[in-house]
Structure 1
Amino acid sequence: MGKLRGFLEFERKVEEYLPVKDRVKHYQEFTKDLSKQSLLEQGGRCMSCGIPFCHSGCPLGNLIPDFNDAVYRNSWKEALDILHTTNNFPEFTGRLCPAPCEAACVLGIIKPPVSIETIEKYIVEKGFEKGWIVPHPPSKRTGKKVAVVGSGPSGLAAAQQLNRAGHLVTVFERDSNIGGLLRYGIPNFKLDKNIIDRRLKILEAEGIIFRPNTHIGVDFQVEELGYFDAVVLAGGATQKRELPIEGSELEEVIQAMAFLSHQNKVVEGSVKPIERLSAKGKHVIVIGGGDTGSDCIGTSNRHGALSVTNFEIMPMPPKERTRENPWPYWPFTLKTSSSHQEGVVRTFSVLTKEFISDKNGKLKALKTVDVKWEKNDEEPPKLKEIKGSEKEWSCNLVLLALGFKGPEKTLSEKLNLELDNHSNIKTDKNYQTNIPNIFTAGDMRRGQSLIVWAISEGREVAHHVDKYLMGYSDLPIKEKGDLPTVN
């Protein structure tokens, strides 16, 4: 695979970004294209490992050495065919996935790993450019009808797989446009919505029916789902985590998803900007250090915030792996995103205690205290406040990027579905709920997770639904490896 000793000859390259001063002026993607020769060389860095750990690191089980080799040989159509055997939407993962495959790359033990995610993105972009990605409707229909509730990556993957099996698939989405968090949670500067739309045209041409503006259990009665032979619930984990402290009811304390989804709707032209959800001219504090917090930082800078500060309750991660975090496990190291590079003060080991309002009831500041985590070999780490470390921070807008508690309860309650200990919809190993013809996948089943896991679960649930309907299934299913990956 690749070039013999290519990893010694070629250095790792990934896409570079446009300068900060230019990219914060707009909401478009801002990566610079790699040259064709650079891409071939990146494919040539693959080591042809005896055991390709990248397979196990990837929840989809992508055949990574195979498509790397095809790229190195300049055989892009072959690379695309290989990639599509395991991944329905590499144009999404190639932009948004944190690349657990690269964390598990054997080359990463001694040198920077192969640029797998970048290669994946360019394979699928080449496919669209050359017109190789075209609809493939099923040759025959089974007559079985399947409803998919939720049009995020898990729901779309399940829908495409079930449609390929010949079933009649209808996808329901409560928002006005299809895409779930891809559409309304991920900023346009990370994923241009035209990327979603071009794939949706393929899915529609293959025969999938989309019904936006349809909220199951609200304006579409759950009893009407009885029309379908099987139902897949893929509505995500959208129950937001609150911060129950004094002042949290202030209108300037905003949930991150309300902030981000509103901005995406402003960009698409479906709503007008409102001052309450704008960071322009404000001192912004983002509470939460994950990807959603990073997206809030990038959006705030594009609004024209006076300052952006990011709080994280955990300690600052190390820049390199520790002995307790060896390869090939996911590296718990300091991550610096493109949004961080655009301007933010990052503060670790800090706990917000109170939001403070002025005499007019407007947010003017918040109080924090520094914390430390005390470790005990027999118990989980405990949070301890550091006396005398209290501090007051001036701010006009706070964005809560604290993650999600699980799926909303509307569907589970109206369908009498059992929940697990984490408030997710409970299933057996076949993704089947306590109601035999109702299945679930993605964040509704496993909790808040990654796009690559969502697509993987969508593919897996499709196999099990197909088997339930037909008694067997030819849809692929990933063999479970032993290597843990990032959730």
Structure 2
Amino acid sequence: MGEIGGFKLYKRINEKQQPVSKRLKNYNEFTISLNQDTLKSQASRCMNCGVPFCHSGCPLGNLIPDFNDYIHRGEWKKALNILHSTNNFPEFTGRLCPAPCEKACVLGIIDAPVSIENIEKYLVERGFKEGWIKPKPPTKRTGKTIAIVGSGPAGLAVAQQLNRSGHLVTVFERDDKLGGLLRYGIPNFKLEKNIIDRRINILEEEGIIFKTNVNVGINYSIEKLQKFDAIVLCGGATIPRNLPINKFTINGVHQAMDYLKEQTKALYNQKQEIAINAKNKNVIVIGGGDTGSDCVGTANRQGASSVVNFEILPKPSKNRDTSTPWPFWPLQLKTTTSHDEGCDRNWLINTKEFLTDDSGNLTGIKTVKVKWEVDSNKKPVLIEQSGSEKIWPCDLVLLSLGFTGPEKTLAEQLELKTNQRGNYSAKEYQTNIPKIFTAGDMRRGQSLIVWAISEGREAAKSVNKFLLKKNLLPYKGQGDLLNSNN
């Protein structure tokens, strides 16, 4: 498997990036791909582990040592076949996944882990460039009709899997373009939208029908939806979390997703005026996750005077914390490319009040420092530090506090059960109404794109078992994969 001792011969090499001064002038992706020989040596670092934990770290169970081995041998197409056997859209995960597989890499115990995500990205990009990735419509149809509500990564994955089973699949998207979170929740500098369109074109050629501007339950009746033989709800977790303070009548406080969506739409329509614009403003982003980082990068590209980021949790250490030992996902400091572009990061900060002028325009934020203690029930308790109040001047606040769950419209109209977290309840992806299934963030809550794809693939198995009493997508043996055309 791979090159014997390759992990001793080659050091990890990451993609290079355009200088900050250059990449802030546009919204394009700014990574510089490694050359083929370098990527081959990176794949050769794979250790031939007795037990490869990267499999368990990846929600998709990607066969990472297998495709690394074929890259090491120079058999790139075979490597791509292996990758596609478990991952419908490696061009998305190769750009956007936080790579839990790398955190579970055995080599990572003693050295920098194998650069799995970068290898995955280049592998699929080469596949498109070489023409290896082609539409593969099913050879026969079952006659069963399936409706997918939502075209995010979960919806697209379940649609492709069920279409490959021979069912007639229609995907409904309430927005004007397909992709869900991929389209409007991820800035172009992390995922250019032609990458989505390229894959959508293949799915259409495989026979999937896509309908945009269709909001099921609003401008498309539930009665029409129920005529399908099976329904899969993949609407995501879209209800944003709010701060319980005075924000609703203030000009200058906005949800992060509203901000990111508007900027992405403006790139399609240059005449569209941007209502939430950070240009020449002092911006504060509340929330330290990936979406908060995306707001930082977008604000800097719009020409913000300053960007400050608040996080209510403690600052993690740069090294893996003992509470999250290998191979678990580590608690450690994450610094993104957006942070590197300019951001004053602050931890253990709680926002107490938004300050305004007489016209209701935002002028600043009042905060207080906090600490976390554990109560008698071993639950974390937030403690405000007396005398630590501070006023931060600002003109724009972006709330990036995560999501509380999916919207309830479909649950109410379809009489579906929800759980205590507000997510749609399902057993093996099947709701309390047998023909209706759910997957992705709508079922599990706010999560990763790689989990959404995994959910879509698993939900497709349950739909197949319901419709045909069997799964038409068995796991392929390695020989079948290598002999396939894709």
Q: What is the TM-score with the length of structure 1 in the denominator?
A: 0.96
Deviations 1:167-199 (A, max 9, x none): 000000000011101011100000000000010
Q: Distance in 2 between matches of 1:95 and 1:361?
A: 40
Aligned to 2:138: 138
1:223 equivalent in alignment to 2:223: yes
Q: For residue 398 of structure 1, give the secondary structure of its aligned residue in structure 2.
A: strand
Q: 1:227 to 1:399 in 2, by over 3 A?
A: same
Q: 1:144 to 1:271 in 2, by over 3 A?
A: farther
Q: Distance in 1 between matches of 2:438 and 2:444?
A: 9
Q: Which amino acid aligns with 2:354?
A: F
Aligned to 2:440: 442
Q: For residue 455 of structure 2, give the secondary structure of its aligned residue in structure 1.
A: helix
Q: 1:340 to 1:406 in 2, by over 3 A?
A: same
Q: Which amino acid aligns with 2:50?
A: G
C-alpha displacement of 1:130: 0.2
Q: For residue 231 of structure 2, give the secondary structure of its aligned residue in structure 1.
A: strand
Q: Which amino acid aligns with 1:457?
A: E
Asked whether the 8 Å contact 1:463–1:477 carries over to 2, the reply is: no
Q: Which amino acid aligns with 1:115?
A: S
After the TM superposition, which residues 279-290 of structure 1 pair with which residues of structure 2 at under 5 Å, given as runs?
Answer: 279-290=278-289
1:300 equivalent in alignment to 2:289: no
Deviations 1:208-261 (A, max 9, x none): 000001000100011111220000000100011111202343131000000000
C-alpha displacement of 1:474: 2.8
C-alpha displacement of 1:317: 0.4
Q: Distance in 1 between matches of 2:369 and 2:144?
A: 58
Asked whether the 8 Å contact 1:263–1:273 carries over to 2, the reply is: no
Q: For residue 166 of structure 1, give the secondary structure of its aligned residue in structure 2.
A: coil
Aligned to 1:260: 260
Aligned to 2:484: none
Asked whether the 8 Å contact 1:146–1:229 carries over to 2, the reply is: yes
C-alpha displacement of 1:322: 2.3
Identify which of 470, 473, 479 aligns with 1:472: 470
Asked whether the 8 Å contact 2:52–2:65 carries over to 1, the reply is: yes
Percent of aligned positions that are identical: 62
Aligned to 1:364: 363
Aligned to 1:185: 185
C-alpha displacement of 1:476: 4.1
Aligned to 2:481: none
Q: Distance in 1 between matches of 2:120 and 2:431?
A: 34
Q: Distance in 1 between matches of 2:70 and 2:446?
A: 34
Identify which of 429, 452, 455 aligns with 1:454: 452
The alignment's C-alpha RMSD in Å is 1.1
Q: Distance in 2 between matches of 1:411 and 1:33?
A: 43
Asked whether the 8 Å contact 2:217–2:413 carries over to 1, the reply is: yes
Q: Which amino acid aligns with 1:113?
A: P
Q: For residue 355 of structure 1, give the secondary structure of its aligned residue in structure 2.
A: strand
Q: Distance in 2 between matches of 1:8 and 1:396?
A: 52
Q: How many pairs align? A: 476
Deviations 1:362-409 (A, max 9, x none): 100010000000024742110000000000000000000000000001
Asked whether the 8 Å contact 1:67–1:83 carries over to 2, the reply is: yes
Q: Which amino acid aligns with 1:470?
A: L
Larger mean CA deviation between 367-376 and 262-271 belongs to: 262-271
Q: Distance in 2 between matches of 1:87 and 1:286?
A: 33
Q: What is the TM-score with the length of structure 2 in the denominator?
A: 0.97
Q: Which amino acid aligns with 2:144?
A: K
Q: Distance in 1 between matches of 2:118 and 2:258?
A: 30
Q: 1:344 to 1:365 in 2, by over 3 A?
A: same
Q: For residue 259 of structure 2, give the secondary structure of its aligned residue in structure 1.
A: helix
Q: Distance in 2 between matches of 1:152 and 1:470?
A: 26
Q: Distance in 1 between matches of 2:377 and 2:309?
A: 32
Q: Distance in 2 between matches of 1:248 and 1:93?
A: 36
Aligned to 1:482: none
Deviations 1:42-69 (A, max 9, x none): 0000001010000000000000000011
Q: Distance in 2 between matches of 1:247 and 1:78?
A: 55
Asked whether the 8 Å contact 2:438–2:459 carries over to 1, the reply is: yes
Asked whether the 8 Å contact 1:247–1:357 carries over to 2, the reply is: no
Asked whether the 8 Å contact 2:249–2:360 carries over to 1, the reply is: no
Q: Distance in 2 between matches of 1:16 and 1:255?
A: 32
Q: Which amino acid aligns with 2:158?
A: A
Q: For residue 127 of structure 2, give the secondary structure of its aligned residue in structure 1.
A: helix
Q: For residue 379 of structure 1, give the secondary structure of its aligned residue in structure 2.
A: coil
Q: Distance in 2 between matches of 1:57 and 1:70?
A: 21
Q: Distance in 2 between matches of 1:433 and 1:358?
A: 50
Q: Distance in 2 between matches of 1:273 and 1:21?
A: 25
Asked whether the 8 Å contact 1:460–1:477 carries over to 2, the reply is: no
Aligned to 2:316: 317
Aligned to 1:78: 78
Aligned to 1:345: 344
C-alpha displacement of 1:323: 2.1
Q: Distance in 2 between matches of 1:334 and 1:111?
A: 18
Q: For residue 227 of structure 1, give the secondary structure of its aligned residue in structure 2.
A: coil
Aligned to 2:479: none
C-alpha displacement of 1:74: 1.1
Q: Distance in 1 between matches of 2:237 and 2:419?
A: 14
Q: Distance in 2 between matches of 1:262 and 1:477?
A: 41
Q: Distance in 2 between matches of 1:121 and 1:60?
A: 15
1:46 equivalent in alignment to 2:46: yes
C-alpha displacement of 1:273: 2.5
C-alpha displacement of 1:117: 0.2
Deviations 1:49-97 (A, max 9, x none): 0100000000000000000111111111001000000000000000000
Aligned to 1:388: 387
Asked whether the 8 Å contact 1:233–1:440 carries over to 2, the reply is: yes
Q: For residue 399 of structure 1, give the secondary structure of its aligned residue in structure 2.
A: strand
Runs of 4+ in 1 over 4 A off after TM superposition: none
Which 5+ residue runs of structure 2 have no aligned equivalent?
A: 477-486
Asked whether the 8 Å contact 1:255–1:400 carries over to 2, the reply is: yes
After the TM superposition, which residues 92-241 of structure 1 pair with which residues of structure 2 at under 5 Å, given as runs?
Answer: 92-241=92-241
Q: Distance in 2 between matches of 1:150 and 1:235?
A: 5
Aligned to 2:418: 419
Q: Distance in 1 between matches of 2:355 and 2:107?
A: 50
Which 5+ residue runs of structure 1 have no aligned equivalent?
A: 479-487
